[in-house]
Amino acid sequence: MSEPIIQEQYITDTLETNYMPYAMSVIVSRAIPEIDGFKPSHRKLLYTMYKMGLLTGRLTKSANVVGSTMKLNPHGDAAIYETMVRLTEGHQALLHPFVESKGNFGRQYSRDMAYAASRYTEVKLAGICNEIFANIDKNTVDFVDNYDGNLKEPTLLPVTFPNILVNPNQGIAVGMASNICSFNLKEICDATIEVMKNPEADLTEIIKGPDFSTGGEVLYNEETMREVFTTGRGSIKLRGKYRYDKKQNCIDIYEIPYTTTVEAIIEKIVDLIKGNKFKEVSDIRDETDKKGLKITIDLKRGTDPEKVMAKIFKHTSLQDSFPCNFNILVEGSPMVLGVNDILCEWLRFRKNSVKRYLEFEIGKKSERLHLLEGLEKILLDIDKAVKIVRETEEDAMVVPNLMKGFGIDEVQADFVAEIKLRNLNKEYILKRTADIENLKKEIEDLKSTLESPKKIEKVIEKQLKEIAKKYGEERRTTIVSEEEATEVVVEETIPEFRCRLYRTKHNYIKKISVQALRMSGEHKLKEEDEIIQEIEVNNTDHVLMFASSGDVYKTRVHDIPDCRASQIGEYLPNLLGMESGEDVVGMIITSDYKGSILFCFENGKMAKVDIKGYETKTKRKKLSNAYSLSSPLVTMFYITEDIELCAFSNIGKALVFNTSQIALKTTKNTQGVSVMLSKKGSIVNKVCTLEECPFTEAKYYRTKNIPAKGAFIKQEDTGNEQLSFDDM
């Protein structure tokens, strides 16, 4: 009976035998760059051009290079040419292009500007490739067979500077990706020298931030930059540059973020104009030419250009972000590394290359010295050497007879035997042997360097300084502080009207205008849900939502969708983008950030914090460490002036106090000061205003100073609805 066509197989076996080899091939051999800063496709292309003599020769047709590269990279001419395009100076994708080019190679900043076919364009290697291939033929890196075993290719290129951080690189593999931004060459060389001295050095003082070929501005945030430098992950904000032509009443955008294109920006602005959101703009056009990028925006008379640009930054990719993911291959393993770690790995790779070069040079010079030392012995008696050669009857015996006659080895004897008869004279031999002492000194110096890590570092440091001086350029991307960049803020025209907010126990919120409230019926709520906070506000007010995680989420009343009483409302975690598992524990409304917030904790402590500490110049939607988590939060109050409060404990005690007795703190997550002292492990379980709990005699529960233990609630006060022991 024949085997069935369809056979059952475990999915794990299929993944292991079929999918995993493919995934690893994509990760290791295609998408993720290695420590030299190149993917295999880049390396194969550049090495082919190097072997073609294009480092010093004339330009050649791109088609010639593409065809030759297929001997190492059999992935098709279109893929190879596309790889080459990105490496050219004409495409303007790299800070330091590796390929000089002639012809149309498109532009990094343009989506629609297509590059010409390979038969029309010409290329050669740029001067900086001298540093990419330095001493590649002197055993500095390993070589392996190409795909058909007929040629050798390098596994890495012996780059003499940290190219991995100097030019940008992006790759998408299977289950992982890499996105490395570019940095200024001079800054990277200086930083590498500093890392050699101190691997834990603070590089943010040397490397100001990323530097992109398209220029623009980096909106510098110290916390984010340190995160990128430390972990290799983080999002860096970028934005374009513009100038206002007062005479023509137009804005010229002349540099854009590396992550976007001219077409994307123009299309978005056009959509906004069509949507009636850009009434200040009369026309927009792309005026990019050979001189460079230029987007011109004509303004209507009386328009403020700063406000227009603030809108463009907000609504288009002229202000964008670069998501850093410094994922590189180190000895075949993908690793996400920070800048310091990448430079340390590169230094380890570079030191190994220098050692291999020194060993190669020592070997070559030692071989040369050995031959010359044999030749020097011939100098003692040239006639004897001639006689030995002349009297030897068999050709095969010339070398053995010379070895026997002068006490030299076979290699030396063979070298002497190959010297032409006309050169077998004293003058020739003296000239050749004059280098013996120099060779001995050179070999001694090379061995001394090879055996000293400090001397190897000096060699690398010298090379880095020379490269920075020869190829270094001024920054193209300007560093601007985030606060400075957001000074011009265009507030949307927000309609002012009174409305009421309702917050429920299950984290829902309703916003109902006062006018709509008059016609509303009963509130619709989810099962077992209830309204726990109700407050009348203005549509322009700011909302602070305090989460159980200790963070605060900020929004505006305007950003909360309008609702009807018959609707459930908006789910706060979705509306605010809260983390999983977080609950809203308090809501504060303010219009001017004046006054303070009083946090009341179970341990009897209370913290009075200036609400000004929650105000930010930027439109940040989340602030960390908004209040202390040292003890569970009972409640919070927003007070613009001091008020009378009453705290209750779970053992039936009450304490009346004035908030003026609590000192104002500047630190948001302060633990506060003790107000109600614990007795036998009691906790505070309720705090309310004195008006909410009218005692028959309030002074009975008041003390002159805090902290205090409070007084047991009188029998006549327990009948009060607000003070029923069910709440305790």
Alpha-carbon dihedral angle through residues 602, 608, 609, 611, given to the nearest 10 degrees:
110
Place of tokens 């040079």: 361
Same domain membership, residue 622 and residue 596 = yes
Q: Which domain holds residue 111?
A: 32-159
Alpha-carbon dihedral angle through residues 332, 337, 343, 345, given to the nearest 10 degrees:
-30
| Residue 710 lies inside a defined structural domain of this protein | yes
- Helix and strand element counts for the chain (H, E): 22, 34
286 CB burial (10 A radius; 0-12, 13-18, 19+) = middle
Same domain membership, residue 358 and residue 462 = yes
Final residue belonging to a domain, choices 159, 188, 219 = 159
The conformation of residue 319, written as its DSSP 8-state character, comes to E
Same domain membership, residue 576 and residue 458 = no
- What pLDDT score was predicted for residue 485? 64
538 CB burial (10 A radius; 0-12, 13-18, 19+) = middle
Final residue belonging to a domain, choices 439, 470, 501 = 470
Q: What residues are paired with 480 via a beta bridge? A: 219
H or E segment to which residue 123 belongs = strand 122-125
| Residue 480 lies inside a defined structural domain of this protein | no
Same domain membership, residue 727 and residue 596 = yes
| Residue 252 lies inside a defined structural domain of this protein | yes
Rounded Cα–Cα distance for residues 360 and 372 (Å): 19
Q: What are phi and psi of 555, to 5 degrees?
A: -155, -175
- What pLDDT score was predicted for residue 469? 95
Give how many domains the chain has, as a whole number.
Answer: 5
**pTM (predicted TM-score):** 0.66
Same domain membership, residue 47 and residue 144 = yes
The conformation of residue 389, written as its DSSP 8-state character, comes to H
| Residue 661 lies inside a defined structural domain of this protein | yes
Whether 428 is catalytic is: no
CATH of the domain at 670: 2.120.10.90
399 CB burial (10 A radius; 0-12, 13-18, 19+) = buried
Same domain membership, residue 596 and residue 579 = no
| Residue 462 lies inside a defined structural domain of this protein | yes
Residues of the chain with pLDDT under 50: 487-491, 721-722, 724-728
CB 499 within 8 A of CB 520: no
CB 553 within 8 A of CB 621: yes
CATH of the domain at 408: 1.10.268.10
- What pLDDT score was predicted for residue 726? 43
Same domain membership, residue 725 and residue 596 = yes
- What pLDDT score was predicted for residue 487? 47
CATH of the domain at 43: 3.90.199.10
Q: Which of 10, 81, 115, 120 is catalytic?
A: 120
The 10s digit of each residue's pLDDT in 666-711 is: 889 999 999 999 888 899 999 998 888 878 888 888 888 889 988 8
Handedness of CA 244, 250, 255, 257 (dihedral sign): positive
H or E segment to which residue 295 belongs = strand 295-299
Rounded Cα–Cα distance for residues 346 and 328 (Å): 11
CA angle 183, 196, 168 (to 5 degrees): 20
| Residue 432 lies inside a defined structural domain of this protein | yes
Q: What residues are paired with 320 via a beta bridge? A: 238
Going by C-alpha positions, the residue among 491, 537, 492, 528 that lies closest to residue 510 is 537
CATH of the domain at 271: 3.30.1360.40
CB 606 within 8 A of CB 673: yes
**CA 62 → CA 46, 67, 341, distances in Å?**
12, 9, 37
Residues in CB range of 82: below 8 A, 6 or more apart: none
Q: What is the pairing mode between strands 60-61 and 122-125? A: antiparallel
Q: What is the residue-averaged pLDDT of the chain?
A: 88
The 10s digit of each residue's pLDDT in 576-633 is: 888 888 899 999 999 899 999 999 999 999 999 999 989 887 777 888 899 999 999 9
Residues in CB range of 478: below 8 A, 6 or more apart: 215, 216, 217, 218, 241
CB 567 within 8 A of CB 504: no
Same domain membership, residue 568 and residue 538 = yes
3-state DSSP of 137-149 = CCCCCCEEECCCC
Rounded Cα–Cα distance for residues 317 and 22 (Å): 35
Read out DSSP for 585-596? EEEEEESS--SE
Same domain membership, residue 38 and residue 139 = yes
Rounded Cα–Cα distance for residues 615 and 490 (Å): 17
| Residue 228 lies inside a defined structural domain of this protein | no
Same domain membership, residue 704 and residue 577 = no
Peptide bond into 632 cis (omega under 30): no
Place of tokens 């303010």: 590
Rounded Cα–Cα distance for residues 623 and 633 (Å): 18
Same domain membership, residue 599 and residue 574 = no
CB 510 within 8 A of CB 489: no
Same domain membership, residue 633 and residue 726 = yes
Final residue belonging to a domain, choices 126, 159, 192 = 159
| Residue 579 lies inside a defined structural domain of this protein | yes
- What pLDDT score was predicted for residue 274? 83
H or E segment to which residue 513 belongs = strand 508-513
